[in-house]
Amino acid sequence: MAILTILEFPDERLRKKALPVDVFDESLTRLVEDMLATMYAAPGIGLAATQVNVQQQVIVIDISEEKNSPLILINPEIVARTGQEEMEEGCLSVPGVYEKVQRAERIRVRTSDVSGSITEFDADGLLAVCIQHEIDHLEGRLFVDRLSPLKRQLVRKRIRKEQRQRATKPLAATSASL
């Protein structure tokens, strides 16, 4: 198993659209295992292949407290959505930013498992939020895209400032230690 590098905003590769998986082989199993290891190490409750620079419709999720209930979604589709809810979201690709996002409250998902069998299930609460967040990634969308234009502007400024600070601090530390 390998820990993969997670792309961060504003990396343009986060905007690529994932393609459906059509071969269910060992390389898919390996990708899923590496994505699970990467998600648990981060730590996060979900990870989409787009975030690790793989343009395939693959998602891993684990919202359990014990981190022992992995959910693997291949080529997932939301086939029905009802209600509306607002939850504070964060994203491993947008570190340090937490904002409330509006999403459907309850969804029905059609998905393949790692062996290619298609199933359907309903989700609500945090699981429904997480699935919608991850499917957005597969479509090249980030949760900050769903904020009001004013809020998005503020978040973009904050991210740029944080990235400037992160970029200059290690340099200052290096020159001080020389």
Residue whose structure tokens are 């199993």: 29
Q: Determine the interface stretch with ligand GNR among 74-82, 108-116, 125-133, 169-177 (rule: CB under 6 A).
A: 125-133
To the query of whether residue 134 is one of the catalytic residues in this protein, the response is: yes
Candidate segments 8-16, 20-28, 129-137, 167-175, binder of ligand GNR by CB under 6 A: 129-137
Catalytic one of 65, 89, 120, 134: 134
- Determine, following the binding rule CB under 6 A, whether residue 147 of this chain makes contact with ligand GNR: no
User: Per-residue x/- marks for Ni ion, 84-123, CB under 5 A?
Assistant: -------x--------------------------------
Residue 129 touches ligand GNR, criterion: CB under 6 A = yes
Q: Cβ neighbours of residue 16 under 8 Å, at least 6 residues apart?
A: 50, 55, 140
Q: Positive or negative, the Cα torsion across 17, 34, 104, 97?
A: negative
In the complex, the smallest distance separating the C-beta of residue 91 from ligand GNR, rounded to whole angstroms, is 4
Long-range CB contacts for residues 96-102, cutoff 8 Å, separation at least 24: 96/158, 96/159, 96/162, 97/144, 97/155, 97/158, 97/159, 99/143, 99/144, 99/147, 99/151, 99/155, 101/129, 101/133, 101/143, 101/146, 101/147, 102/146
Angstrom distance (rounded) from CA 50 to CA 138: 6
CB of 42 to ligand GNR, least distance (A): 7
Least distance to ligand GNR from the beta carbon of 105, Å? 14
Where in 29-58 is the site for ligand GNR (CB under 6 A)?
44-48, 51
* Interaction site with ligand GNR (CB under 6 A): 44-48, 51, 89-93, 129-130, 133-134, 137
Residues noted as catalytic: 134
